[in-house]
Structure 1
Amino acid sequence: MGFLSLVGNSFGCSASGERLVSAARDGDLQEARALLEYNPRLARYSTFGGRNSPLHYAAAQGHHEIVSLLLESGVEINLRNYRGQTALMQACQYGHWEVVQTLMLFNANIHRTDYLNGGTAIHFAALHGHARCLRLVLADYVPSIPNFLNQTNHRSTEEVSDADFDDDGLVKMVNWKADGGLTPLHMAALNGHVECVQLLLDLGASVSEVTIEDGTTIDLIGSGSTPLHYAACGGNAVCCQLLIARGANLAAKNASGSTPLMVAHSWHRNSIEEILSNEPGGQIRTLASPYLCLPLMSIMSIARECGWRYLNKSPVCIDPCAVCLDGSCSVAAEGCKHEFCTRCALYLCSTSYTSANPAGAIPCPLCRHPITSFVALPGTSPIREQLPRNSLSLSFCATCPAVSSDSAAPGGGHPYRASAELHCGGGMRMPPMGSSSFRSLSCQAMKLNPSFCMGAMDTNPCLIRCSRFGSSLGRSASHGEANRRGAWPVTFSPIVATSS
């Protein structure tokens, strides 16, 4: 009887967990809240094979309210699926900036790398061209000081007035190398994401970083390639001009002896050959990225310390926010001294295009004065309760195989894979999260092979290996890392890359 009761409890956990997964995927907030009130441990449920938690599904679909609900229930914010992807990587991949903002307010780890490609959330945002997500992920590295851009570009020896400014940490993050030595700048330049390229350059991305031959990637351009080589392959003229203006070397050769001009010629990018042929006459001035946001660090710190939601709404607000007329004013903009609620200030910093003087400041919605930082009002007190413990250890029934933690596999690897989830149109309600890989090529004009289909969100576009390159693109695992396998880590944008 004891054994049968354990088995019955196991089936009950799976059924309730699947209901929570469906609610997280479909955005049913009431259903998710009811299930978590009934059993808070369901937040740690994960699907069989893919190991995707409800947090992964909610993040991939952009349901930020359900993400907040799950985090408040004590779920581990840095849970991984079988690909090693966290919810932050999923949100950056699909461009859901509200989810990214919520995860960053709950102190998500941006240093985690996935198992297949060794890429961080910054790589996912740069690969798919989501500049808003990119600036939110790097919010804790960009200080709220007016002279930040001068400090970053000129590396001045003057001391910075903000003690939280970690210049070395910022440079390390924006130049983080995934497998094959690919930096976020390589990925953004290849796919023609001008906004991401401009923002990464303003944050200190190096134009001289080169790729390496590690045996795990299908390198179509060649090892030793700079971001300009990748921009030449992608064929975006604006990306090439930005890189050249920031000091990219037109004569740089990769391991195959190819310059950016030769790469452009081999990929039939005739429209940019003139740009890559002539050295620029004199120094070229470029405008600062409109996605560079200086006040973001200050408002994120205030929100974490004092809260950002309307917990106790009163019928009549004594000092309402001039933007939403709902919450009470809790922060003030330095300079013009206009007051806002924390929630509106967060929204302004996450969505507004910044002004040019000083670079990175957002215009005040009331007087258009540039805002470089926010300060908490004297009456604003820190929240008494701490943020939910993300390492909440809640034991599930011992016989339920669908509930697992990030450390379930020995050595942090993925313990199993379900081949049934890797096919499109197989009757599955939801394809596996993180189906797009750095090492996949999106070829629209090709007949899809079901054996290569990896599933995707909503429309199920298949990411397949390009058969044009044949079997000569074989590779072997590097440094004994058998868990990182896949195709070459790029995804061509159909707008930028044209079939040759």
Structure 2
Amino acid sequence: MGNSFGCSASGERLVSAARDGDFVEAKMLLDCNPCLAKYSTFGGLNSPLHFAAAKGHNEIVALLLENGADANSRNYCGQTALMQACRYGHWEVVQTLLLFRCNVTRADYLSGRTALHFAAVNGHVRCMRLVVADFVPSAPFESMETQKIGDTNDVSIVKSKHEQSALSKFVNKAADGGITALHMAALNGYFDCVQLLLDLHASVSAVTFHYGTSMDLIGAGSTPLHYAACGGNLKCCQILLAKGANRMTLNCNGWLPLDVARMWGRHWLEPLLTPNSNSIIPVFPFSHYLSLPLMSVLNIARECGMQMSATPSDDGDTCAVCLERACSVAAEGCGHELCVRCALYLCSTSNIPSELLGPPGSIPCPLCRHGIVSFSRLPGTPAKESKLHLSLGLCTPCMLHPREQEQSTPSGSQDIRKNRVVAVSSDLFCPVTCSPFPSVAIPLCTCNDGPCPNFEAGENQTQGDSPTPSQSASVDSDKLEAVRLGKATCSSMFWGRRSCSREHRCNAEINA
């Protein structure tokens, strides 16, 4: 890993430059010894790429990758630079790592979290949009409609079903304890993330397992609606119900989402979560963060590169957005030409819907506002020279080649007992960590005289008397008080304490 005595001092200098954003120092060190890009620290095994990605220094990230840094290198916790960038919301770094074909499906050693989990926990919706870019083809929603009507092109239907299957498996990939990205976004009240995940075929019926962590305060066998009820965000509960979530689902403790809301003091959710509720659920459009042309422009950027800065003599061939680079891509439909950098930036940042001029997920053209579904490469655009090392080769995630049969989701029933989630034995799952999501802070609200003034999750609320428990969930008041006042503490298991110290050691190096 480049930790020999000869390069240790220079490697530490490169680590400091990557952490501080000193591009001149980093370039000087890499010009003298390009092998320093593969250096890693002795304690947490963090590479300079981990430090630069966590701090959001995109230029240094690109410099390290061009000098042979491994985009998929892991630290002591098994976390990659992509996970660090998604943790702190640096979408430009995520974009650069995707251009070097990093593996988005890798999970860390501690709790099986992917980059999608890290982005969902902290509500970084732009990072989530980029992470799923290689799984979202152009116009998947139109292809779904043509399947319902009956398309004669069987080949396109099979391909579309395969792409949707790979996307669904990636989005619904569970960390330890069965926690999906949708669970975490719903718990923390990030409505934009919940809406995007649901539009990307996230399952509203995914349940958690017995795990022995602080998240079991909600209960094993809980659906995203249980987690949204605990978080207290009204919009998250509404969109989950609009997408097919069932109010009658019981977790392994016998609690409905209504019971969870009452236990955590979310009184404003009771009219919505009551089993016989007459509340009107609004109709939600598709997420504004869907980006259909992102896959096409990413592939073009990988082939042509991003450093084409030569401005042609003819002003008509210059990008009309930046006025600096030559046009290399054309929008299918309106035909307007842009440079690949501006097109990629547009697809990564735009959240303005173009429903009138294109299908859901299309990006409005900056010149005519026409909905762009995909980009095509202009003829004559030179391809960049391949300088990637073997470690930066093509990524072929196993998610793209599914081997297992998809499990069919059982249809919802009105009978409460039929919707009870069967308890899963904890012996089947190894408790590797005491807190798979240590950054999650469940807000507490114990007011019992009327609705709370703050409806958004994540805000600190004062504690008072114990709320009245639901009649359907006969739980002792002492048990409720212990649950409500419980905090995310380490378990008494050795592996849990060890895993916490491992992640603390890795993060302490980066945040030093």
Report the TM-score range of the alignment, normalised by the length of the smaller protein: 0.7 to 0.9
> 1:360 matched to which residue of 2?
361
Task: Provide, for residues 89-121 of structure 1, a one-character-per-residue CA deviation record: whole Å limited to 9, x for no partner.
Answer: 000000000000000111110111111111100
> 1:339 matched to which residue of 2?
337
The answer to whether structure 1 residue 235 and structure 2 residue 232 are counterparts is: yes
- 1:312–1:326 CA distance, 2 compared to 1 (3 A): closer
SS in 2 for 1:268: coil
The answer to whether structure 1 residue 226 and structure 2 residue 223 are counterparts is: yes
Question: Aligned partner of 1:31: which letter?
Answer: E
1:157 Cα offset (Å): 6.9
Segments of 5+ residues of structure 2 without an aligned counterpart are: 393-434, 445-482, 504-512
- 1:373–1:440 CA distance, 2 compared to 1 (3 A): closer
Question: Aligned partner of 2:245: which letter?
Answer: A
Question: Aligned partner of 2:43: which letter?
Answer: G
1:476 Cα offset (Å): 4.7
Select the residue among 144, 154, 160 that pairs with 1:151: 144
Task: Provide, for residues 385-433 of structure 1, a one-character-per-residue CA deviation record: whole Å limited to 9, x for no partner.
Answer: 21411528xxxxxxxxxxxxxxxxxxxxxxxxxxxxxxxxxxxxxxxxx
Question: Aligned partner of 2:256: which letter?
Answer: T
User: Scaled by the length of structure 2, what TM-score is found?
Assistant: 0.74
Residues 354, 363 of structure 2: 8 Å contact kept: yes
> 1:201 matched to which residue of 2?
198
- 1:379–1:473 CA distance, 2 compared to 1 (3 A): closer
> 1:289 matched to which residue of 2?
287
Identical-residue share of aligned pairs (%)? 58
1:244 Cα offset (Å): 0.3
> 1:94 matched to which residue of 2?
88
Task: Provide, for residues 226-256 of structure 1, a one-character-per-residue CA deviation record: whole Å limited to 9, x for no partner.
Answer: 0000000000000000000001000110000
Residues 490, 496 of structure 2: 8 Å contact kept: no
Task: Provide, for residues 305-360 of structure 1, a one-character-per-residue CA deviation record: whole Å limited to 9, x for no partner.
Answer: 12222255668766110000000001100111000000000000000013224100
User: Distance between the aligned counterparts of 2:29 and 2:141, measured in 1?
Assistant: 46
> 2:267 matched to which residue of 1?
270
- 1:208–1:471 CA distance, 2 compared to 1 (3 A): closer
- 1:305–1:358 CA distance, 2 compared to 1 (3 A): same
Deviates more, 1:120-129 or 1:467-476: 467-476
> 1:377 matched to which residue of 2?
378
User: Distance between the aligned counterparts of 1:306 and 1:280, measured in 2?
Assistant: 55
Give the length in aligned residue pairs: 413
The answer to whether structure 1 residue 439 and structure 2 residue 438 are counterparts is: yes
Question: Aligned partner of 1:148: which letter?
Answer: F
- 1:467–1:246 CA distance, 2 compared to 1 (3 A): closer
Residues 51, 80 of structure 1: 8 Å contact kept: yes
Residues 303, 383 of structure 2: 8 Å contact kept: yes
Select the residue among 315, 318, 321 that pairs with 1:320: 318
User: Distance between the aligned counterparts of 1:157 and 1:83, measured in 2?
Assistant: 48
The answer to whether structure 1 residue 177 and structure 2 residue 178 are counterparts is: no
> 2:418 matched to which residue of 1?
none
Residues 30, 37 of structure 2: 8 Å contact kept: yes
Residues 23, 29 of structure 1: 8 Å contact kept: yes
Calculate the aligned-residue CA RMSD, in Å.
3.1
Select the residue among 90, 107, 116 that pairs with 2:101: 107
User: Distance between the aligned counterparts of 1:205 and 1:471, measured in 2?
Assistant: 27
Select the residue among 185, 190, 197 that pairs with 1:188: 185
User: Distance between the aligned counterparts of 2:491 and 2:101, measured in 1?
Assistant: 40
SS in 2 for 1:67: helix
The answer to whether structure 1 residue 132 and structure 2 residue 126 are counterparts is: yes
Residues 117, 439 of structure 1: 8 Å contact kept: no
Task: Provide, for residues 260-309 of structure 1, a one-character-per-residue CA deviation record: whole Å limited to 9, x for no partner.
Answer: 00000000011211111244678853200000000101111111112222
Structure with more helix by fraction: 2
User: Distance between the aligned counterparts of 2:4 and 2:232, measured in 1?
Assistant: 54
SS in 1 for 2:245: coil
User: Distance between the aligned counterparts of 1:79 and 1:269, measured in 2?
Assistant: 42
Task: Provide, for residues 445-489 of structure 1, a one-character-per-residue CA deviation record: whole Å limited to 9, x for no partner.
Answer: 9xxxxxxxxxxxxxxxxxxxx994379984658xxx7898449x9
Residues 190, 236 of structure 2: 8 Å contact kept: yes
> 2:32 matched to which residue of 1?
38
> 2:301 matched to which residue of 1?
303
Task: Provide, for residues 33-89 of structure 1, a one-character-per-residue CA deviation record: whole Å limited to 9, x for no partner.
Answer: 110000011111112211111000100011111111101111111111111110000
> 2:386 matched to which residue of 1?
386
User: Distance between the aligned counterparts of 1:257 and 1:150, measured in 2?
Assistant: 40
User: Distance between the aligned counterparts of 2:97 and 2:374, measured in 1?
Assistant: 21
Select the residue among 469, 475, 478 that pairs with 2:486: 469
1:134 Cα offset (Å): 0.3
- 1:239–1:442 CA distance, 2 compared to 1 (3 A): closer
Deviates more, 1:42-51 or 1:201-210: 42-51
> 1:404 matched to which residue of 2?
none
User: Distance between the aligned counterparts of 2:148 and 2:62, measured in 1?
Assistant: 39
User: Scaled by the length of structure 1, what TM-score is found?
Assistant: 0.76
User: Distance between the aligned counterparts of 1:197 and 1:377, measured in 2?
Assistant: 36
Select the residue among 25, 48, 54 that pairs with 1:54: 48
User: Distance between the aligned counterparts of 1:90 and 1:381, measured in 2?
Assistant: 33
User: Distance between the aligned counterparts of 1:472 and 1:352, measured in 2?
Assistant: 40
User: Distance between the aligned counterparts of 1:162 and 1:321, measured in 2?
Assistant: 37
SS in 2 for 1:219: helix
Residues 85, 93 of structure 2: 8 Å contact kept: yes
1:163 Cα offset (Å): 4.7
Residues 76, 390 of structure 1: 8 Å contact kept: no
Residues 135, 293 of structure 1: 8 Å contact kept: yes
> 2:251 matched to which residue of 1?
254
User: Distance between the aligned counterparts of 1:336 and 1:181, measured in 2?
Assistant: 44
User: Distance between the aligned counterparts of 1:352 and 1:65, measured in 2?
Assistant: 22
Residues 46, 52 of structure 1: 8 Å contact kept: yes
